[in-house]
Chain A
């Protein structure tokens, strides 16, 4: 008899909305739980009024809704304290957490408290013949893929957003929700003074990203790219150089030290294609590159390229798109 059983998905909510990575974890979690022959649970921590039945619809056999006002703001210590207590009682064998900014900040505390292993930012998972969860993750700046096994229980992994399909939504699936209160709701060592947005967009959610790099000469030149972005219904991205130059805020930064994006279309304008930038955008479905240097590495990652002057091409593209409307 196993001491631990079940796959637990820690669903994430951001200010009352369930993060979509939660549904992807349920999709993959379902597969893992079937392989292991054990149930799929989901735990969500939040304030009043979350649509937690969605977690049932998307695959969870049982949903635990830990409801307390203290979870309305993201603060790692309180989430960790409560998740750890829950895991100690529930004893799952596998715990999956979204590798979002909050997930990646919270998970190390959870694993350390439980004295168990943690694998970060996985892009794939499978169960081996002995029933171990094998976790696959890129390392060495995305140059290798490591297959990792955890020899302690529970086996915990954070999973990259947009790697797996969401669990198939089925409203006929039975609702099974247990509401719990927080074990701990106060942390006197840490206090959130203020939460604010410096941008009203999330570049990782964009369907189209138009990014600019060193090929632009001055801040004012961003205007034409904004116009292009508007025509395509996308978001404006930037390489680190442009952010460092103070042309644009860091919320726009794409790359290894910025955001990793996976849009349908990525248009790289005046970006040479340094490995740090490539790491943040190479998984876009379609990449279009415009650069004056025909030997720029960006063309090795692009599907369609144009060698030419941005200041000539971009206005032409804007005009052509307008004519097409």
Chain B
């Protein structure tokens, strides 16, 4: 069972600062970390590997420092760590990113399942999974909360919500799934694996390694059909909250007034 996991490196949202005046995100204000949603994707892959004697390849695209994120993925159970890094790749939107990742996966050739997290906490688009699946011409399912079964040829998954219903879906392999946070609980890396992760070789691929699968003009900023023209950082609105304590009558009459006002009662 060959499982590919797509991960993204994101800033720590609790610490990252936003400049309301300039409208920029100060990425240097916070450490980079593995996108929290991707930890569930990685765990799902590691669980499959443990059940079916498989191999987990983690792919990320980013600057060279993203190696650290891949070492973290190794510590958590990945076998192969792949970094797609090249100056031509920078400034990529979701489509250019998906094309680059799909180019690497086409080169990899032998894989059964691709697993992604539900979305990233920075871009928040949830687009790369579907785009990669389409470029590779394989089926996909989003919002997967359970992998019911998997064989050499097919996978059966439970989709949490599509049109307000759950769905049990069977797909031929290879296929791509994106998983919700409810699919599993992340296990912490062992000390032994953490230590080993510092010594492993991270495989690096640049444009020249992928040139049979993608051309320069389809990568990075140049290959991106969407362009961010402006970023606005809205000031967080703090409401004037009317807080009551030891005055239930006062509180309730306010609540009642509001409920009537909103035509709820």
A and B, one complex?
yes
Q: With a CB–CB cut-off of 8 A, which chain A residues contact B128?
A: 108
| Whole-angstrom CA separation of A300 from B237 in the bound complex | 9
> Is A306 part of the binding interface, using a Cβ–Cβ cutoff of 8 Å?
yes
Q: With a CB–CB cut-off of 8 A, which chain B residues contact A305?
A: 241-244
> Is A14 part of the binding interface, using a Cβ–Cβ cutoff of 8 Å?
yes
- Shortest C-beta distance, A153 to chain B (Å), equals 9
Specify the main secondary structure of chain A where it touches its partner. mixed
| Whole-angstrom CA separation of A109 from B94 in the bound complex | 12
Specify the main secondary structure of chain B where it touches its partner. mixed
- Shortest C-beta distance, B237 to chain A (Å), equals 9
**Number of A-B contacts defined by CB within 8 Å:** 259
| Whole-angstrom CA separation of A89 from B200 in the bound complex | 51
> Is A143 part of the binding interface, using a Cβ–Cβ cutoff of 8 Å?
yes
- Shortest C-beta distance, A203 to chain B (Å), equals 10
- Interface contact B134-A320, CB-CB below 8 Å: no
| Whole-angstrom CA separation of A189 from B228 in the bound complex | 36
> Is A61 part of the binding interface, using a Cβ–Cβ cutoff of 8 Å?
no
Number of interface residues of B (CB under 8 A): 83
| Whole-angstrom CA separation of A100 from B231 in the bound complex | 24
- Interface contact B241-A300, CB-CB below 8 Å: yes
Give A232's nearest chain B residue, CB to CB.
B264
The A178-193 residues at the B interface (CB cut-off 8 A) are 187-193
Q: Which are the 6 A-B pairs with shortest beta-carbon distances? A: A108-B130, A117-B225, A14-B163, A117-B226, A112-B134, A120-B125
The interface of chain B, by Cβ under 8 A from chain A, is 13-14, 16, 18, 23, 25, 37, 93-95, 98, 118, 121-131, 133-135, 138-143, 145, 156, 160-172, 175, 180-182, 224-234, 238-246, 248, 251-252, 254-256, 258-259, 262-265
The interface of chain A, by Cβ under 8 A from chain B, is 12, 14-15, 19, 73-77, 80, 100-102, 104-109, 111-113, 115-121, 134, 138-141, 143-152, 187-198, 202, 207-208, 232-234, 240, 243, 250-251, 256-257, 264-265, 275, 285-289, 294, 299-308, 313, 316-317, 320, 324
